Amino acid sequence: APVIRLADYRPTPYAIDKVDLEFDLTPERTLVAATLVLSPRAGTAGEPLVLNGDELTLVRIAVDGRELREDEYEASADRLTVKAPPAGSFRLEMTTRLDPAANTKLMGLYRSSGTWCTQCEAEGFRRITYYYDRPDVLSVFTVKIVAPKIEAPILLSNGNPVSSGDLGDGRHFAVWHDPWPKPSYLFALVAGDLDALEDEFTTMGGRKVKLAIYVEKGNAPKAVYAMDSLKRSMKWDEEVFGREYDLDVFNVVAVSDFNMGAMENKGLNVFNDKYVLADPEIATDADYAGIEAVIAHEYFHNWTGDRITCRDWFQLCLKEGLTVFRDQEFSSDMRSRAVKRISDARLLRSQQFPEDGGPLAHPVRPEQYKEINNFYTATVYEKGAEVIRMLKTLIGDDAFARGMDLYFTRHDGEAATIEQFIACFAEASGRDLEPFMVWYREAGTPTVTIDESWDEAARRYTLTLTQETPATPGQQTKKPRVIPVRFGLVGPDGKDMRPSGIAGAEVNGDTLILTAPSHTVTFEGLPSRPVPSLFRRFSAPVKVRQSLSSADLIFLLANDADSFNRWQAGTTLAMTALVKATQQVRAGQAPSFETAPIDALGKLLDDPALDAAFKALLIAVPSENDVAREVAENVDPDAVATAHLAYRRTIAGRLEARLRAIVEADNAAADQPYVPDAAGSGRRSLANTALDLLSITGSAEAMALVRRRFETAINMTDRMAALTILVHRGDAGAEAALAAFFERFGNVPLVVDKWLSAQASAPLPGTLDKVMTLTQHPAFSFGNPNRVRALVGAFATSNPTQFGRADGKGFGFVADIISRLDAANPQLAARLLVTFRSWRSYEPKRRAQAETALRSIQGKPQLSRDVADILERTLA
Ligand code: HT7
Ligand code: ZN
């Protein structure tokens, strides 16, 4: 496949001033009549018109009302060329024929449970009609949908409804007009027999907006939380970013077959039903939080993505990083800021750091790609959001707000670049942001190494901070980055000390700004050696190498004014213990652990001033995958698991009474109504984490507590937590619990996903056989991405010992599934393949087996561009 490069960007020779689409929908044979008004840009009149297509069949083409002769155009499945268009503005009419029912790629127009729906980002519109299917061609769309009335009483597209009516032959139609010029990737159409949950919202400017969430028949009550989240998002965007909604209607549709989470089509967001449907019976606290965040994310795209879009796909982080930043801020305001920050840092470390440190590493703003679908990554999204957060820290809240306002006014209605975005903040702050651009241009996670010294006589404390970014594919040498280090110097009383002077780096309030490869920073006039608390609130997405003593870390865990760094101190202590224990296991020794850090955790559990969600995070043990990442080389997942188990046993043993008290207190509160808010979910999270730890002892008493929780749970969070423990421990009651669970929820696909995942992630030798058997289960389907991710995805990502089996069968199984899925749904196959990205970190035997599995995929004929691209980079 050809390489597409940022450096080759050129505008199209023609602008598309206006688009009219008419869809005649029948299941196997849909006709799309497109009428485009095109005009040449300066100096391009008469140039051939070359439009994108993908698996298209053209049935008619005319220019200015005249059908073209065969020698006047060339049409293939993936391209249409009109050889000599008229010199001025002209009208191009094309009719294409589609087969939505056969569209298993879920890109373009397809069917999901009988509903016609579309997905056009990034390059799906070209599967509907020939077009300049790229984000810098903005046009005004009018869409007419004709469909059988019984099958599709609901007909939706972007913008505002214009007209509708009966055609008298069992069919009806609706016309939609979107006044806001948009690129093709934001086009959407939905037609089906759906129920709606309706509401309304009045904007700050007084516009009354009709809101509707469309779902499969009977599911409207399950959209209540999504609707509530939507209204809160609309209000928040007005209050915090001054952004108001700009159409008369805002529609959301939930579909069950969807490649990703959701899609921000203008005025018509289409969602994976996982991010819409909830009630306490079927959804966990995490599901509720996910719905709130994704509803907000897609809504926020209305300004950061739709009103201002991207000039080209290299600029994807312009909309995605910024919109993730906005949804993270929203969730922080709705829930606990500290807890959200910790969860986001954990996500970044578990998803983005391995990407940045492996064969698929790429800059936040990549400069080349073969398949754009493979760049919807944690780097573009999550690191992209962190870069914006650093920018805010660097220039301050006020300049950041002025920069955002400038961006919204200056670029409204445009397709913009990262340079244009950053220029707004440079202007608003007066700061030269060119050095900051390294964060966008270079891949890799910097490591900041910290050395300290204390001069008692001079009362001077010195920190040396040295940054280094490892080489990444295609980028051997790295420039120093601008790194904001939010800091505190904690005194013996637990309060922050105030130095009389700081030298060696720019200081901005409580933040040091690193710009050089190394800074030696001195803090004068301190009464005693402080304990340094660096990178407070996770102020930069870097790895920190600092050898604080256990005593210092225990001190920070107990005293730091910054919640993030309290949690970080606990995590560093746990991780150090786990890595050491893994080495001991590898060396044939029994793992041993210090008790002081565990006792410190115990004390925190007793502290009534700390909220439950925070306590849950404090006692949550870093995952086996986290430990493997820290071990980094020659990873033996069995050794990690043995160490991990021993560590959890030690904690459970030492904190047993407290953990039991937490579970019992929560049992006693069982009659409280279920509320999925920060307080309620925090309480459940603490109790379920405590129960998980207790169960690790395997004692009859602990397992009885788990079984009781499973049987008496009145919400899915507790029921699922208990079921997972029973299954993962291989408890004697696990099979019966699984059967009872399926009996009750087997007809709710989103809950079947939880049932599949719990089994696929069980760290037991029989799991692979079980997973293979489950692929034959009537509730499983390779055609549905949620099912595949729940079973095969969970196995590959959340089961390090069984995916990484010493006999290589785990790798082989996932590789076979990827090969099998590729022809039907390349995006899904490519995403599964990414689970192999850290294969070089295994010990030699597993490394060889992973490579064999990867090469088996490579040997298959006709690999998709998606899979071929990931495979090539993974094996390079
Ligand atoms: N902008 C969307 C990204 C997207 C997508 C969504 C659904 C299916 C395929 C897709 N390809 C890309 C989602 C978002 O970030 O909001
Ligand atoms: Zn997005």
pLDDT of residue 670: 82
Q: Which two tokens stand for residue 469?
A: 């970014």
Q: How would you class 166 by CB atoms within 10 Å of its CB: exposed for 0-12, middle for 13-18, buried for 19 or more? A: exposed
Q: How far is Cα 443 from Cα 356, in angstroms, rounded to an integer? A: 6
Q: How far is Cα 747 from Cα 281, in angstroms, rounded to an integer? A: 13
Edge-first strand order for the sheet with 66-67 is 66-67, 57-63, 90-98, 30-40, 14-24, 139-148, 171-182, 160-166
Q: Is there a contact between 148 and 170 (Cβ–Cβ < 8 Å)?
A: yes
Establish whether residue 306 lines the binding site of ligand 1, counting it when its CB lies within 6 angstroms of any ligand atom. Answer: no
Residues of the chain with pLDDT under 70: none
- Of all atoms in ligand 1, which is nearest to the CA of residue 258? 8
pLDDT of residue 490: 98
Q: What is the number of the ligand closest to the CA of 259?
A: 1
Domain of 400? 309-441
CATH of the domain at 35: 2.60.40.1730
Nearest residue by C-alpha to atom 7 in ligand 1: 260
pLDDT of residue 726: 98
Containing 64, the helix (H) or strand (E) segment is none
Residue 826 CB contacts under 8 Å (≥ 6 apart), including other chains: 105, 373, 864, 865, 866, 867
Last residue of a domain, one of 390, 406, 441: 441
CATH of the domain at 384: 1.10.390.10
CATH of the domain at 869: 1.25.50.10
Nearest residue by C-alpha to atom 13 in ligand 1: 263
Q: Is there a contact between 314 and 4 (Cβ–Cβ < 8 Å)?
A: no
Among the options 93, 123, 292, 298, which is catalytic? 298
One domain, residues 31 and 172: yes
Nearest residue by C-alpha to atom 12 in ligand 1: 121
Last residue of a domain, one of 258, 292, 326: 292
Q: Is there a contact between 481 and 433 (Cβ–Cβ < 8 Å)?
A: no
Q: How far is Cα 249 from Cα 7, in angstroms, rounded to an integer? A: 39
Establish whether residue 376 lines the binding site of ligand 1, counting it when its CB lies within 6 angstroms of any ligand atom. Answer: yes
Ligand 1 center–CA 750 separation, angstroms: 20
One domain, residues 430 and 457: no
- Domain membership flag for residue 823: yes
CATH of the domain at 508: 2.60.40.1840
Ligand 1 pocket test target in 103, 118, 255, 260 with most atoms within 8 Å of CB = 260
One domain, residues 334 and 210: no
- Domain membership flag for residue 773: yes
One domain, residues 221 and 98: yes
One domain, residues 358 and 314: yes
- Domain membership flag for residue 102: yes
- Of all atoms in ligand 1, which is nearest to the CA of residue 297? 16
Establish whether residue 297 lines the binding site of ligand 1, counting it when its CB lies within 6 angstroms of any ligand atom. Answer: yes
Q: How far is Cα 781 from Cα 787, in angstroms, rounded to an integer? A: 6
Last residue of a domain, one of 236, 257, 292: 292
- pTM of this structure: 0.99
One domain, residues 381 and 512: no
CA dist list (Å): 210 to 202, 226, 251: 9, 15, 8
What ipTM describes this predicted complex? Answer: 0.97
Ligand 2 center–CA 320 separation, angstroms: 5
One domain, residues 378 and 451: no
One domain, residues 425 and 458: no
Ligand 1 center–CA 208 separation, angstroms: 28
Q: How far is Cα 231 from Cα 771, in angstroms, rounded to an integer? A: 40
- Domain membership flag for residue 663: no
Establish whether residue 298 lines the binding site of ligand 1, counting it when its CB lies within 6 angstroms of any ligand atom. Answer: yes
If we measure between CA atoms, which residue out of 30, 223, 226, 250 comes closest to residue 158?
250
One domain, residues 81 and 213: yes
If we measure between CA atoms, which residue out of 491, 498, 500, 499 comes closest to residue 532?
491
One domain, residues 176 and 36: yes
Residue 37 CB contacts under 8 Å (≥ 6 apart), including other chains: 16, 17, 18, 19, 89, 90, 91, 92
- Domain membership flag for residue 655: no
Establish whether residue 327 lines the binding site of ligand 1, counting it when its CB lies within 6 angstroms of any ligand atom. Answer: no
Establish whether residue 831 lines the binding site of ligand 1, counting it when its CB lies within 6 angstroms of any ligand atom. Answer: no
One domain, residues 417 and 529: no
- Domain membership flag for residue 272: yes
- Domain membership flag for residue 535: yes
Helix (H, G, I), strand (E, B) or coil at 211: strand
> Number of folded domains in the chain?
4
Sign of CA pseudo-dihedral 62, 64, 69, 71:
negative
One domain, residues 393 and 456: no
- Tell me, yes or no, if 298 is annotated catalytic: yes
- Domain membership flag for residue 707: no
Helix (H, G, I), strand (E, B) or coil at 486: strand
If we measure between CA atoms, which residue out of 587, 586, 662 comes closest to residue 619?
662
Q: How far is Cα 557 from Cα 559, in angstroms, rounded to an integer? A: 6
